[in-house]
Structures are given as C-alpha cells and as structure tokens.
Structure 1
C-alpha cells in the first residue's frame, strides 16, 4: 500500500443526486400548495422503487397560488461540487392540467445538441424530470390540476465553473442529474458517463477529430499542438480510453489524437486501456526494450528496466539524449494499440508531453 494512502475505518457514505433533491423539494412545495401548510418532510421514490424521506431546509407559501421549498444536497463522501447545494423548487398553479417543468437561477441552459435535451431548455436530465413529475403527482392530482415547477440552485452558476458544463454547451448553471437517484462515492461510472457524453456532444457538432487528454496539464499541450480545433474536441478522458474510443466508433469519427505523459502512454503501449493506478502498473521493462531499440546503451537500458516509475524512465531518457527518439517509439506503439482496438477504423496520433504539460516532446506520426 502506498505510504500516502490512508486506511479508512468505515465504509464511504452514499449521497443523493441533484435530481433526487429536486424531486423532494418539488413534492414539498406541491404539498404546501395543496394543504396550505409547510411540509417539513417529503418522501419520494427513486427509480429503483425505493422510497426515501428528506427534511426540508425551508418550505413556505409565498402567495395564494405559489409555494417554495428547499432541500440541501448531501453528496455523502463523494467529492461533488454540488454538495451542500440548496436545491429549490417553486411550484405555481396554472390553468391547464399537467406539470410544466423549467429551470431557474443556477440551472444551466442547453445550447448545443448531443445531450438528449431540448436546445434552449433547462439542463434537467430525463430521469430527474420523470422523478419530479412523479413526486409532484403524489401530492396533487395533476390530471385535473396544473402546476408549473421551476427548479433553481442558488450559487449554481458558480458551482458550474468547476464542471465541464460550459464545454458541453450547458450555460449559466449546473445540470440536474441522476439515473439511480443515488451518488456513489468516487464513482468511476459517473466519470465514464461524462467522458461518453463529451464525445457525443463533440460528434453532434459535426467535428471528426477527437483529442483525448489524460488530465488538465496534458490538455495544455494538446491545445498547443492542435490550435485549429475547437474546445469541444478536447476531452479529459482520465482512465477511460476504451470507453471513449467505443463511443467515437459509434459516431463514425475518423481521427483520434491521444496526448499523455510517460506513465499513461506506457500502459496504453502495453495494451492496457483501463489505466487507473489500482488496475494496472507501468511496465518499465517495456521502456527498457524501447531504450535498446532506439540505440541506448545496455547500462541505460538496464537502468530504465529498474526505474521506479514512468517519470523516472523519462528522466533517464532525457539524461541520455534519447528522449525524442524513445518518446516517438513509445507513441508509435500507443498509436498501434489504439489502431488495432478500432480495427483500423480510426486514424490515430499519439503525443507525449513533458511534466508541465506545456511542451510536446515526442509524437507519432510526426507532423510536418
């Protein structure tokens, strides 16, 4: 176990999605409107059928035909930027039967296709929208009465700056999300879904070149290498290269550029597409083989074989004057793995950046 890793004494707490909190707030406001009394607790159904009760932070009638309720989001032990958000529902009577759902302050507006949501509409995903309608319908007979429900999140616009919403074309706030209603701590599933969604949005813009970056630093080098491409083409793929490539193939994209540092590139060159540190290790033996292939001495190759990390191998290459040649060979192998994964359907480029992310030190194929 790495010495920096802490032993956790108890299980991580799950939390609730913004969609679940919005449905609870909407039900509380609808109940207040129906009964004339503030609701202190609202019970709602998750997509699984499980029912969960939420205490309201605030619930009040704000007019003869309007009520408002707030539920504070608890994301459990997940590092969610919306943890603590005051998810607010304002429910107003209207003349026509049924439920009209809209977004208010702090809920983003959809400005690009590819998200499965109406352009110009609120960024309230289909499952949360259904949960809200069901919750409100439990409080009021919406087949005979009409309600307008507006979901808002004070500080939502500020929270959204820490998300990929702007890049996806969601402007002015956060998204109301959730497929199960539950937030799983440190969910890899949610990151994978965000990667797949980013590829979908890019494809919907008519772009055919997908640039996969392993993180924020590598994206700097990628944008310097491809300044002609719009921002939507750059996707922070994390450890989900395989998922991104499968989605790219689904949309018939033609070209993929992978930009990373030595460690991630080594894992990909070894044929490992799930590159999380808990799932795979850097093969310094492969880097030693590359050292020999590009003409490095046996002493240097043996030192690379025994290197502690990909970065250590990179530093040896740099010291021995082999960085450009060895980096290009590493990138060639990465491109080969990704090409085989796509069965030749994708034109693949791979590039290695230094550890600042600002400089591309090697690539395959070389660009003129």
Structure 2
C-alpha cells in the first residue's frame, strides 16, 4: 500500500460565512423565542443542513449575541480558531435584514468588489445565508440588524490581501458554498479575480501578476506600480489569464522566478511543482538557439533542476529568451484580446535575469 493511500483524507471545515450564519440564527431565535439553539442548525447553499455548537451567547440591552469558533478543517486558513460573533437586534418593520461591520470585520473602501464602498465586507452569499437562516425562525419575514465581529480580525487581516483590495479594519465574511475545502485553489483564484476587478474599477491601466513576494517586490520597483496594481497570482497564471481575457486591462506584466517562468514558456498554465514539472531539456533547446555549445547543453539536460540548468548555461540572454517565450504563451492564452504583455524573470535574490522590455524611462 502506498503512503498516499495510507494518508487519511483531509478534513473539511466551515467558512466564516457559515459560522456567522449559525451565530446570527441562534441570536435571532433568542429574540423570538427566548431560547438559544445549541447546537444550531443552518442550511448551506447546496441545501445540506449542518450544525454548530455555540462558544457563548447572551443578551446585551435589546440585542442578543451568539459566538462560534471557526473550524477550517485541515486547511491552513488564518481564521481557523477565530471567534466569530453575531449580535442581532430587531429592526424597523419592513426594512428586512441589514448588516453592520463589528470589531474585526472590514469595510470596503474601493470600487470593483461585489459590494459598494462603505459597505461592511460581508459578502453576498453569506448575506443570503444569514437572511435565509433568520427567516427559518420567522417565515413571515425578518426585520433585523445583524452585526458581525471577529476577535483579532484586524490583526488577522494583515495576513490576507484585504488591505490591497481596499478592505480596511478587518477581515471579510466569506464563503460561496459554506464549506472550506482544504488547499482548494478556488479561494485563491477568486481573490485574483477580485484584485483585477478592483484594479479595473480604480482606472488602473497596468497590472502585474507575480508568483511570489520576491518577484512582486521586483516588478513593483521596476515599474513603480501602486499596490492595487499588484496581483498575487501564485501558481495560478491560467486562472488569471482566463479572467483577463473576459475582463481586459491595457497592459499586463507577469513576473516570476526562473523555474516558474520556464514552465510558462513551455506552455504550462498551472505552475505548482506538484502538478507540472519544468524540463531542463527544454531549457537546453532554448540555449541551442543562443549558440551554447553542445557540451554545455548536455550538462543542462542532466541537471536536476531548471535553476541548475540555467546556471550551467551561464548565458546572459537565456533569461530574456525565457521571458520572450513565456510572453508568447501568455498572448496566445489572452487571444483575441489585445492586452500588451511583458514578462520579468527574477532570481531568488530578486535580481532581474530576464525581461521582454527595457526599463521604463
């Protein structure tokens, strides 16, 4: 039996939206019945019913509150273990459910997100989940003011891309399915899309997708770009390019390390090491175009990594050729849009070792 078969499946968890929904439903129930359901059962968007245990509950003036500890399963989510509290008060007749950002929940300050500037960062699907949950208690309608808070949310938000998206003061209440799938790429790709939306709504004409912090710092300095123009695409260049094909900007820069840009040059749109392998032999073929000797090219083919092959070539134009071929693959993926494309290749120290365009004046 292989080690993969012996490894237990990763445990799924719950989104902040699901936790906020459960807390809000329990608090609303107390206002209507004098009872805090514990555990409290909610309905996910796929109509599955799940239950949450309360970590605490109580009354404060004419409001009721309930608290849930977020369990993100085996996903390395910064909000795993966070305390999510919903405080619910009765609203004016006919107003429906309204939402407020409590301590640790952010407020939107830039256009381009699903909600307008000034709105609490409680996303549309969690809003619908909360509204539905309250109406399960009062089917005739729910006129309620729901305030969501996350303990230490402002500090936790600094570990996310919220500040770059213009969400200030805390975290977002997220979730489209209510379930956290461990190591899912969907959340990251959604963040890429929202970053593009914000950049477009802000009128930016040039954005840069980077594979990591080193390449991002390099491209930011190279072009003097604002933070809102920086898209942390990670390994998901394909997810970024497919979205840009439908939501174009005039100018796109892609920046990344030698191995990942070599993968892109070979036509790979998923740059993760576990899903695609960079081929030192392909780098040797590029080197042949530059007149690198057959002896050196053979050593490149025997290299254990693309970085080793690049170093063995020791040719000043190889980085530029990687950038050019990566840019060609990018343009083909973006077609038929006419987005201007350039590529920057960096080493591990953040030095530029290849690019398709000269440094701007």
Fold shared, TM-score > 0.5 on shorter chain:
yes
Q: 1:8 to 1:201 in 2, by over 3 A?
A: farther
Task: Please tell me whether residue 354 in structure 1 is matched to residue 327 in structure 2.
Answer: no
CA contact (8 A) 1:38 1:61 kept: no
Q: 1:161 to 1:7 in 2, by over 3 A?
A: farther
Name the SS of the counterpart of 2:267 in structure 1. coil
**In the alignment, which residue of structure 2 is the partner of 1:240?**
236
| TM-superposed deviation, 1:8 | 5.9
**In the alignment, which residue of structure 1 is the partner of 2:146?**
149
Q: For residues 171-199 of structure 1, what are the alpha-carbon distances to aligned partners after superposition, in whole Å with 9 as ceiling and x for unaligned? A: 01000000100000001111111112211
- Using the size of structure 1 for normalisation, the TM-score is 0.93
Name the SS of the counterpart of 1:222 in structure 2. helix
Give the Cα–Cα distance (whole angstroms) in 1 for the partners of residues 162 and 243 of structure 2: 19
Shifted more, 243-252 versus 20-29: the winner is 243-252
CA contact (8 A) 1:207 1:233 kept: yes
| TM-superposed deviation, 1:316 | 1.6
Name the SS of the counterpart of 1:113 in structure 2. coil
**In the alignment, which residue of structure 1 is the partner of 2:218?**
221
- RMSD across aligned positions (CA): 1.7
CA contact (8 A) 2:14 2:71 kept: yes
| TM-superposed deviation, 1:343 | 2.5
Aligned to 2:194, which of 168, 178, 197?
Answer: 197
Aligned to 2:323, which of 297, 322, 331?
Answer: 331
Name the SS of the counterpart of 2:317 in structure 1. helix
Give the Cα–Cα distance (whole angstroms) in 1 for the partners of residues 65 and 248 of structure 2: 46
Task: Please tell me whether residue 340 in structure 1 is matched to residue 332 in structure 2.
Answer: yes
- Using the size of structure 2 for normalisation, the TM-score is 0.94
| TM-superposed deviation, 1:279 | 2.0
- Runs of 4+ residues deviating >4 angstroms: 5-8
| TM-superposed deviation, 1:327 | 0.6
Task: Please tell me whether residue 275 in structure 1 is matched to residue 278 in structure 2.
Answer: no
Give the Cα–Cα distance (whole angstroms) in 2 for the partners of residues 89 and 140 of structure 1: 17
- 1:277-316 maps to which residues of 2 (within 5 A)? 277-316=273-312
| TM-superposed deviation, 1:215 | 0.8
Name the SS of the counterpart of 2:275 in structure 1. coil
CA contact (8 A) 2:24 2:66 kept: yes
| TM-superposed deviation, 1:103 | 1.4
Aligned to 2:103, which of 102, 105, 108?
Answer: 105
Give the Cα–Cα distance (whole angstroms) in 1 for the partners of residues 15 and 93 of structure 2: 30
**In the alignment, which residue of structure 2 is the partner of 1:363?**
355
Shifted more, 240-249 versus 281-290: the winner is 240-249
CA contact (8 A) 2:244 2:334 kept: no
Q: For residues 53-87 of structure 1, what are the alpha-carbon distances to aligned partners after superposition, in whole Å with 9 as ceiling and x for unaligned? A: 11110011223x21110011100000000111111
CA contact (8 A) 1:267 1:281 kept: yes
Q: Mind listing any 5+ residue stretches in structure 1 that lack a counterpart? A: none
